A and B are shown apart, each in its own frame.
Chain A
Amino acid sequence: MSETQIREAIQEAIRDNEVVVFMKGTPQQPMCGFSARTVATLQEMQTPFAAVDVLPDPRIRQELSGLSGWPTIPQLFVKGELVGGCDIIVEMYESGELAQTLGVDAPQDAPDQAPEAAPSAAPMLQPENRL
Chain B
Amino acid sequence: MPTPQELKQRIEAAIPGASAEVESADNVHFSARVVSPEFAAKSRVQQHRMVYDVFDGQLGGDIHALQLRTEVP
Residues of A within 8 A of B (CB): 34, 69-72, 82-88, 91-92, 125, 130
Contact of A72 among B29, B52, B56, B69 (CB under 8 A): B52
A34-B65, A91-B69 known; A69+B49 contact, CB < 8 A:
yes
The interface bits of chain B over 8-40 (1 if a CB of A lies within 8 angstroms of the residue's CB, else 0) are 000000000000000000000100000000000
Chain B's interface size range is 10 to 19
- Interface class of chain A by DSSP: mixed
**A69 / chain B contacts, CB cutoff of 8 Å:** 49
Contact: B60 with A130, CB < 8 Å?
Answer: yes
Given the contacts A72-B59, A130-B60, A87 and B45 also touching, CB distance less than 8 Å: no
> A130 CA to B56 CA in the complex, in Å?
16
- List 13 extra interface pairs beyond A72-B60, A72-B66, CB under 8 A: A70-B49, A72-B52, A82-B45, A84-B44, A84-B48, A85-B48, A87-B67, A88-B45, A88-B48, A92-B44, A125-B65, A130-B60, A130-B61
B68 touches A87 (CB 8 A): yes
